[in-house]
Chains A and B, each alone.
Chain A
């Protein structure tokens, strides 16, 4: 039963789903540098493993490789206990705002704050829940695809998704109630 897939197919696939791969890596590893390296590793592995790819969902296959590369990095990181910089959420109000435009400044501060708030709470979720939320809500994968990427039964995917959603809802709600408008 041979299933030799030509290398071009893997290249096309990796490039087609490169943003999805990078976004997953970025959320798992927390910084640009490592996410870039991990996805590059994943690409090299995918090329070597091309002959064992044999149909099925290509995006799930590729993201599973990406995730494994990220987890490998996390494992080394935990072993060596190095401190790793988590990149700041890109949208802090200060960086975004040309201070002269007074009119919708308030709106934009608000939207930028909301953005960094969601990013922060999502990044603070345990990895198990974070990854399933990224794959479902941002990358829009089906349960089956997520199960394939995470290499776990669909039942586990569903329970993690439910728990992850509940945790994030709770964190955002608590923030909303604890933060009585001050200033603005």
Chain B
């Protein structure tokens, strides 16, 4: 690893956001490089100063009191059967719509997987991250970090940014044009995302590690978006978009048959 790569990875390492393999490689570099160690010490010094010396303002009692008052008032209203918290449905919808931008970024509803237990929870989290990543990308100015309709540009772009660059193929002739790629997060892992366009639909293909991957053929719906898992060459991948079922099935087949 050279100092340039190390300096890009250092903040991730420092913030506990770097995967284990890259962390080991970075540590090996740090063992032999005093300059990069200095950068790390600098980050740590700044953090220590911020945590020790910058003010973390505690909520004033006045604020807590106001909230408790609202809370009590609402509890009192709710107890009276004539004055419940109900609004006409349309009103709720309007309110929901007014917050849609925010929810696109943050909260996601994903139905539970069938599996119980920790493995199920972890996969739940994967689905949540994939939907959240997709929505965040849609809300951003551009859903990709590298714009290209050329598979020979997109693949090398990933190389050096992540451990395994995914297989990249364009399906413009079949109506699913490669539009670009980006790096997103699933859990704490940085994963490559291939972005395709089909008409006005944006399609994200999250290329996952074997461990993170939900079961093949699994289909999850959330707020009009669908996620489906396929094998992309030897790597599992999660497709997410708001396409219709027929189009999605075609795209799944295309991706699955690639190579």
Chain B residues, CB < 8 A from A74? none
Closest to B106 in A: A148
**Number of residue pairs across A and B with beta carbons under 8 Å?**
171
Interface size, A (range)? 35 or more
Chain B residues, CB < 8 A from A111? 53
Secondary structure dominating the interface of A: helix
Known: A55-B108, A55-B109. A36 touches B46 (CB 8 A): no
A55 touches which of B85, B95, B110 (Cβ 8 Å): B110
User: Chain B 92-103 against A: per-residue CB contact (8 Å), 1 yes, 0 no?
Assistant: 100110010111
Q: Is the CB of A52 within 8 A of B63?
A: no
Chain A residues, CB < 8 A from B139? 151
Chain B residues, CB < 8 A from A61? 102, 106-107
Q: Is the CB of A68 within 8 A of B63?
A: no
Q: Is the CB of B58 within 8 A of A19?
A: yes
For the complex, give the distance between the alpha carbons of A21 and B60 in Å.
Answer: 11
Q: Is the CB of B108 within 8 A of A161?
A: no
Chain B residues, CB < 8 A from A19? 56-59
Q: Is the CB of B140 within 8 A of A153?
A: yes
Point out residues on B near A: beta carbons under 8 Å.
Answer: 11-12, 15-17, 42-43, 46-47, 49-51, 53-60, 62-64, 66-67, 70-71, 74, 78, 85, 92, 95-96, 99, 101-111, 128-129, 132, 136-137, 139-140, 145, 182-185, 188, 221-223
Can you give 22 A-B contacts (C-beta < 8 A)? Answer: A1-B111, A18-B63, A39-B63, A40-B67, A47-B74, A52-B96, A52-B107, A54-B107, A55-B109, A56-B106, A64-B102, A114-B49, A115-B55, A137-B46, A137-B50, A138-B50, A148-B132, A152-B105, A153-B184, A156-B140, A161-B15, A172-B49
